[in-house]
Amino acid sequence: MRGLTISAHGGLDRLEVRDDLPVPELRARTDVRVRIHAAAINHLDLFVVEGLPGITITPPWIVGSDGAGVVDAIGAEARGVAVGDHVIINPGIGCGSCEYCLADEEPLCPRFNVLGEHRPGTIADYAVVPARKLRTIPAAIPWETAAAFPLATLTAWRMIVSRAQVTPRDTVLIWGIGGGTALAALQIAKAHGATVWVTSSSDEKLARAAALGADHGFNHATLDVAREVRQRTAKRGVDVVVDNVGEATWQRSLLALGRRGRLVTCGGTSGPMVQTDVRRLFWNQWTIMGSTMGSQAEFNAISAELRAGRLLPPIDSVFALADGRAAYERLASGAQFGKVVIRLADA
Ligand SMILES: [Zn+2]
């Protein structure tokens, strides 16, 4: 079968399309094999190519975490899906037996696995995953939309709904609108009635975010976002900041955050080390919360949204498998608005 692979860590020139990969076999009786029709890439995938601490790969390693396709084979004890079903994949896989997994908090599992990172990924003709990580979707949903949906929407759902618990009373500030998770956070926060302000270095992206419901946009290249926020709120500050940028924005996030504010993060694309003045933290009674991936209940919730035709992810671009490296370069450029998708099967 075909797949996008790496055989060593390094730059994006390590990415290689191969057509001599073995079709994967089911590894457990609860496994399902999916004929992948489309895959989507996330910042995580860029980090996997560079190499992550503690992660070793077996060459040729198939990359990619997001995917959607048709069930091709099922194990004897696989439940909930049948051959021929259209499915989306939750790429985060816990051990299933630790205290966190038993409490439906798989992202906290000490043995948490992610497709493309710890297990063979989704950018290939076939992928094998446990049946409980699949949800069926209507055949009418385009493959690009289905593939672009799971990881960004699941991550944003946990951040906005479960962690920050955004309500219609909240004003939410989201950095870097254009990335998949930021856009999903915008859509989810609006669906929960919040006022949502977004930032970008591109006025065009701000205009497109407004069309998706953003109430206000700040160009962070030309404006002091924290100062603008304090002006617009009569010095009160916002209730929630979604900051997945990290080093480059953390100080401004805290300056924009009001009393009893919540800062939620699922990543730091500009760098991991941030500074927080503990005096301001306690005085303002802030909550700083981390979040990653999502639980089965959260995956059920977003799957229901997709089946209902809601929270559909904006698609930036679609690449053929042969152009897989160009897809990664598009994501690495930061120029995208929405998800970057790689198409596998044609029909
Ligand atoms: Zn576990």
pLDDT digits (tens, 9 = 90+) for 279-294: 999 999 999 999 999 9
Residue 112 pLDDT more than 90? yes
Distance 130 CA to ligand 1 centre (A): 14
Q: Contact at 8 Å (CB) between 24 and 61?
A: no
Residues facing residue 113 across a β-bridge: 93
Tell me the mean pLDDT in the region 242-253: 96
Distances (CA, A) of 83 to 70, 123, 347: 7, 20, 16
Which residue matches tokens 């306690």? 282
pLDDT for the residue numbered 192: 98
Is 80 exceeded by the pLDDT of residue 12? yes
Q: What's the 3 CA to ligand 1 centre distance in angstroms?
A: 29
Instruction: Tell me how far the alpha carbon of residue 114 lies from the centroid of ligand 1, in angstroms.
Output: 13
pLDDT digits (tens, 9 = 90+) for 33-84: 999 999 999 999 999 999 988 888 899 999 999 999 999 999 999 999 999 9
Segment 254-265 shows an average pLDDT of: 98
Distance 104 CA to ligand 1 centre (A): 9
Taking the C-alpha atoms of residue 202 and residue 206, their distance in angstroms, rounded to an integer, is 6
Q: How far is the CA of 191 from the centre of ligand 1 (A)?
A: 31
Mean per-residue pLDDT of the chain: 97
With cut-offs at 50, 70 and 90, classify the pLDDT of residue 265.
very high
* Burial (Cβ within 10 Å: 0-12, 13-18, ≥19) of residue 271: exposed
- Ligand 1 centroid distance, CA of 300 (Å): 19
Instruction: Determine the distance separating the centroid of ligand 1 and the alpha carbon of 292, expressed in angstroms.
Output: 15
What's the gap in Å between 94 CA and the centre of ligand 1?
5
Distance in Å, CA 98 to ligand 1 centroid: 4
Say which amino acid occupies 216: H
Tell how far the Cα of 93 is from the centroid of ligand 1, in angstroms. Answer: 8
Interatomic CA distance for residues 38 and 343, integer angstroms: 4
CA of 109 to the centre of ligand 1 (A): 4
Q: State the distance from the centre of ligand 1 to the C-alpha of 254, rounded, in angstroms.
A: 33
| pLDDT tens sequence across 172-191 | 999 999 999 999 999 999 99
